[in-house]
Amino acid sequence: MVKVTIEITGGSISERVSKNIDATIEQVNTAVTAAMNMARSMIEEQARSMIAGSGKFGGRWTDGLHVTLDNMRLSMSHDVSYADIFETGGTITGHPLLWLPIGDGPADGEKLVSAKGTRVPLMLSITDKSPKLFGTESVTIPKKWDLNGVVQNVMQNFADYFSAAMKGQ
């Protein structure tokens, strides 16, 4: 009869398995974090690009968009409190009038006076008497952005970002 002896060195099997599991968990956590950061960056870049390309939206609008990652949760916010109207479209109603700029509108701190005898309510510059604002009861804003679509498009490829991060790419 043949006698076979197997000797395992280097600690118990459970200790080695536990170390391997811990290392795998750490690798997965690192890859998920990297993939989430990549998605965050791509969403922010593509959403800002959409805003910039949708009309007269300058730095206040593009830089005002923020995509943050906190505790494995992506959130999108905007510094301009009424920015969501361009995502959904809708009607804004004045109380009683909504004052909209003519051209660039008045300069900061420019004093205005109400125009008399005009068919359309106007606010004129005291300095040069040019119209700076006109009043209307309401304005309908069409949908200009599809930021939710940007999020969906980026997140469709999340498995690819995760896979690349697991491979260390």
Collect all residues with Cβ–Cβ distance below 8 Å to 136 and sequence separation of at least 6.
94, 97, 98, 100, 121
* Distance between first and last Cα of the chain: 54
Given CA atoms 101, 102, 106, 111 in this order, what sign does their dihedral have?
negative
**pLDDT at residue 169 greater than cutoff 90:** no
Collect all residues with Cβ–Cβ distance below 8 Å to 153 and sequence separation of at least 6.
46
Token code pair at residue 69: 């990652």
- What is the per-residue pLDDT for 100? 93
Q: Domain segments of the chain: what residues?
A: 13-85+143-166, 91-141
Mean pLDDT of the chain: 91
Token code pair at residue 49: 């690009």
**pLDDT at residue 13 greater than cutoff 90:** no
Token code pair at residue 101: 């700029």
Say whether pTM exceeds 0.85: no
pLDDT digits (tens, 9 = 90+) for 45-99: 999 999 999 998 999 999 999 999 999 999 999 999 999 999 999 999 999 999 9
